[in-house]
Structure 1
């Protein structure tokens, strides 16, 4: 009896593991070719959606955050995008991802008028849908690490948003296994939210304006 029970548990665990791997690979396959690591190969888009995360992990600078901010500045400076949407959590008066990102980008001389703040980007699904429905964007460049960009691109694809991804560097390798495990679970949740629960953002609200840089050709 015990051996049969143990075998059943092993089979169940293996089945769950295979399903998790299948979901992970399915999402990556669905968005293959829709992102780039080379900024020179990035197709110019009207706006970049930059996903927020905490700036610090304990007392250490979060390199996930650092690489996203540096990439956002470069995309704007190299005229790959004409505006930025900074989307993140605004949980308390002491934790505000969009404002933190804004302050760092201002220090990098990115014009304030071309930066829109999304304070209700509590999760990736919220950020993507709000970029389309609240900020009125139909073409968006998604900026984050590869694992995150792939999931965001899949959400955008399901929601009919024309999106591409710019993949930035990852954190040090020692953190990868934790990030990847969390991402696999996040992808399963994304599939459930999109295809079963038909989930909507926590908040939508009134439309928000994005002010774009005037292309050089139109200035002449």
Structure 2
């Protein structure tokens, strides 16, 4: 019995160690693959018809403004006013009636001066994978600039490239490391899951009718 328990313990220990190694490898590999495909500088972004703005909540659980949201809006505005992009796909979660990331982003972008008819909302961007693939399959974009924080863009650009999309990441300003600690820890797991999704052939939850961007 003791030998059996020892073998079980050894098995789970090895499984745990393998999991840690996979997480570290996935994060290192994804960062290395996308290092030259993103920038904080507007001048370094290619001229592209469409930017893909990835969603997050407008406010935190305590009701305070979400710096991730505000910084992404500012980054999208910088790209638009510089002429690097002409249109924006605001892609996010709208799984509840009282929660609408695309609409929140649209309103924030309009308040910055971007015309409403230059903003397209994707209400089924429940995950980064969904947002990226739907930009191609639903909105017909083969080339995009993805707008989010650097840690998120690493995963988004990687997924886009794996789905034959010519993608560049424009990095919004980061949130200080203390405020973003939980988010960054969660991202380590998210990058690992992105690799698993590719291996398992996971697809977006929803399709839909094609939407034409002029």
TM over 0.5: yes
Note the aligned Cα RMSD (angstroms).
1.9
1:41 matched to 2:44? The reply is: yes
Q: Distance in 2 between matches of 1:41 and 1:158?
A: 22
**Contact map agreement 1:84 1:114 (CA 8 A) in 2:** yes
What is the aligned counterpart of 1:88 among 92, 103, 122? 92
Aligned to 2:160: 156
3-state SS, counterpart of residue 89 of structure 2: strand
**Contact map agreement 2:22 2:192 (CA 8 A) in 1:** no
What is the aligned counterpart of 1:54 among 53, 57, 79? 57
| Equivalent residue runs for 1:29-178 within 5 Å | 29-58=32-61, 59-178=63-182
Q: Distance in 1 between matches of 2:110 and 2:19?
A: 46
Structure 2, unaligned runs of 5 or more: none
What TM-score do the two structures reach when normalised by structure 2? 0.91
3-state SS, counterpart of residue 179 of structure 2: helix
What is the aligned counterpart of 2:211 among 208, 212, 215? 208
**Contact map agreement 2:48 2:144 (CA 8 A) in 1:** yes
Q: Distance in 2 between matches of 1:209 and 1:6?
A: 56
- Relative to structure 2, which stretch is displaced further, 176-185 or 40-49? 176-185
**Contact map agreement 1:116 1:209 (CA 8 A) in 2:** no
3-state SS, counterpart of residue 36 of structure 2: coil
**Contact map agreement 1:140 1:164 (CA 8 A) in 2:** yes
**Contact map agreement 1:139 1:162 (CA 8 A) in 2:** yes
Aligned to 1:192: 196
**TM-aligned CA deviation for residue 7 of structure 1:** 8.0
3-state SS, counterpart of residue 33 of structure 1: helix
Q: 1:92 to 1:12 in 2, by over 3 A?
A: closer
**TM-aligned CA deviation for residue 32 of structure 1:** 2.0
**TM-aligned CA deviation for residue 175 of structure 1:** 3.0
Aligned to 1:215: none
Q: Distance in 2 between matches of 1:13 and 1:206?
A: 43
Q: Distance in 2 between matches of 1:144 and 1:54?
A: 13
Aligned to 2:19: 16
3-state SS, counterpart of residue 178 of structure 2: helix
**TM-aligned CA deviation for residue 105 of structure 1:** 0.9
After superposition, give the CA deviation of every residue in 1:43-66 in whole Å (9 maximum; x if it has no partner). Answer: 111110000100111211110101
Large movers: runs of 4+ above 4 Å: 4-7, 9-12
**Contact map agreement 1:64 1:145 (CA 8 A) in 2:** yes
